[in-house]
């Protein structure tokens, strides 16, 4: 199939009775521990994240419908938190299908060639095929949601509107006056996919076939540079024409379509010192006596990670802005405190020479990613869900044996 050279811009919303909530971003992050649903301020909705993760499982609705989509975990960014319910599942399914078809998510309807309004929860019943998975019949307050989306669905000079209505109870009422746009009644996952494919065919004839998928562009997350062992991207063979010929990663929203390109190779980063020079190198300076490293400050360097002023943890996590690092010092009680100040995005723990970190406990339920650093330390990125005040325990061992040390770190709650 021919891949779109210019990806179709789509705007997908989760309708609520208070108004439509746009889906801003959708991207895979293999370095994360689990798939997550967050707001632009990187506040996680734990309940929605759990249900979203189940959809992505191989036996889930998304996992079965799109078995060839990139391996997750995935990050789904919504414009704001959702109050309750599962009617976000059908619009999220739409977003995944459209991205798999090579479309690009955009945050506003004015940028979109297609606006998708869909609501409904996906049944848990086992179906013979992914396409046969049912949309649950419930009172989704469709009429009220359509009224709250009147501005979005109003006639516009640009962009088509696709409205997907789920099964309603017998006394269900869609709307006294149907809104403008292509309204479809859908009762299965397959019907949702067919409606989306039909809309794409109408906008880009020949580029979308019913039931087909545009292969997902090859991607390397820029965060791979922080992954264990560090890696280097060998791309010399791709330098053809100009530097702009090599484009990978993600655009501001959703997936940017990438032209077909040779496969990117991944190789270990070359050593900074050639092996032959090791024997001629002068001996390293002697390390200070580990006996002197008996206090928390002398055994461990602790850095508090936060976002820059007027930026968020998500922007720092994405690499758009650097983390602000603040070195912390142990108090009179021997404990560190990471509470207070700007919102806490994470921690970096670096052992002093002669020490090594054995384990860090107490943050497991609140971690988004934990990765080793090149200096023998650990960097922990926190998920910004509701978090109580926590006391974290850091156990260190002496590299040469002897008594270890356990250090406490107080992490303040986050109730944004």
- Which residue spans of the chain are classified as CATH 2.60.40? 292-411
Q: How many CA atoms lie within 13 A of 69 on its CB side?
A: 29
Specify the DSSP element, H or E, that contains 11. strand 9-14
Full-model pTM: 0.54
Buried b / exposed e over 267-292, threshold 16 CB at 10 Å, is: eeeeeeeeeeeeeeeeeeeeeeebee
The Cα–Cα gap between 321 and 286 comes to 38
Other Cβ atoms less than 10 A from the Cβ of 15: the count is 27
**Binned average pLDDT, 10 residues per bin, the chain of 416 residues:** 68 95 92 85 81 89 89 89 90 96 94 95 83 92 92 83 88 56 90 95 60 33 30 28 31 37 36 36 40 66 85 77 87 82 83 87 84 86 75 83 80 60
Parallel, antiparallel or unpaired: strands 355-361 and 390-398: antiparallel
The Cα–Cα gap between 336 and 328 comes to 7
By C-alpha distance, which of 38, 3, 27 is closest to 345?
Answer: 38
Residue 78 is predicted with a pLDDT of 94
Contact 140, 34 (CB under 8 A): no
Residue 111 is predicted with a pLDDT of 92
| Dihedral pair phi/psi, residue 26, rounded to 5° | -150, 115
Residue 255 is predicted with a pLDDT of 39
Angle, alpha carbons 125-129-133 (nearest 5°) = 40
Query: 292-411 has which fold?
Result: Immunoglobulin-like (2.60.40)
Q: Is 156 exposed, middle or buried (0-12, 13-18, 19+ CB in 10 A)?
A: middle
Residue 402 is predicted with a pLDDT of 66
Distance (Å) of CA 416 to CA 39, 120, 339, 343: 11, 28, 14, 9
Residue 171 is predicted with a pLDDT of 52
Residue 86 is predicted with a pLDDT of 93
- Which residue spans of the chain are classified as CATH 3.30.230? 9-203
The Cα–Cα gap between 275 and 272 comes to 9
Architecture, CATH, for domain 9-203: 2-Layer Sandwich (3.30)
The Cα–Cα gap between 327 and 102 comes to 44
Q: What is the DSSP letter of 343?
A: P
């Amino acid at each position: 199939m021919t891949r779109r050279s210019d990806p179709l811009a789509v705007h997908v919303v989760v309708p609520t009775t208070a108004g439509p909530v746009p889906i801003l971003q959708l991207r895979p992050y293999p370095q994360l521990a689990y798939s997550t649903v967050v707001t632009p301020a990187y506040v996680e909705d734990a309940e929605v994240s759990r249900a979203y993760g189940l959809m992505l499982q191989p036996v889930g609705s998304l996992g079965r419908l799109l078995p060839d989509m990139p391996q997750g975990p995935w990050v789904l960014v919504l414009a704001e938190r959702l109050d309750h319910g599962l009617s976000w599942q059908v619009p999220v399914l739409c977003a995944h299908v459209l991205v798999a078809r090579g479309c690009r998510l955009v945050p506003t309807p004015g940028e979109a060639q297609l606006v998708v309004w869909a609501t409904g929860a996906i049944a848990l019943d086992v179906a013979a095929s992914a396409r046969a998975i049912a949309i649950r019949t419930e009172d989704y307050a469709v009429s009220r949601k359509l009224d709250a989306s009147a501005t979005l669905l109003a006639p516009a000079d640009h962009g088509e509107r696709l409205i997907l209505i789920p099964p309603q109870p017998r006394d269900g009422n869609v709307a006294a006056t149907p809104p403008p746009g292509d309204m479809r009644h859908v009762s299965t996952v397959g019907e949702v996919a067919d409606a989306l494919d039909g809309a794409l065919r109408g906008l880009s004839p020949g580029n979308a076939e019913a039931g087909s998928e545009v292969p997902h562009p090859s991607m390397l997350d820029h965060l791979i540079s922080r992954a264990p062992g560090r890696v280097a991207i060998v791309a010399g063979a791709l330098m053809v024409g100009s530097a702009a010929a090599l484009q990978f990663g993600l655009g501001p929203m959703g997936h940017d379509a990438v032209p077909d390109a040779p496969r990117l190779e991944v190789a270990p980063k070359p050593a900074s010192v050639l092996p032959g020079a090791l024997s001629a190198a002068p001996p390293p300076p002697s390390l200070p006596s580990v006996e002197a490293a008996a206090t928390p400050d002398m055994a461990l360097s602790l850095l508090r990670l936060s976002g820059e002023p007027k930026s968020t943890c998500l922007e720092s996590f994405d690499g758009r802005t650097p983390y602000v690092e603040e070195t912390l010092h142990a108090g009179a009680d021997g404990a560190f405190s990471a509470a207070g100040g700007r919102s806490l995005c994470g921690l970096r723990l670096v052992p002093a020479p002669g020490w090594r970190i054995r384990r860090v406990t107490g943050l497991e339920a609140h971690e988004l990613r934990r990765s080793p650093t090149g200096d023998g330390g650990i960097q922990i990125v926190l998920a910004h869900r509701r978090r109580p005040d926590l006391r974290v325990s850091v156990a260190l061992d002496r590299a040469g044996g002897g008594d270890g040390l356990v250090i406490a770190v107080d992490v303040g709650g986050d109730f944004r």
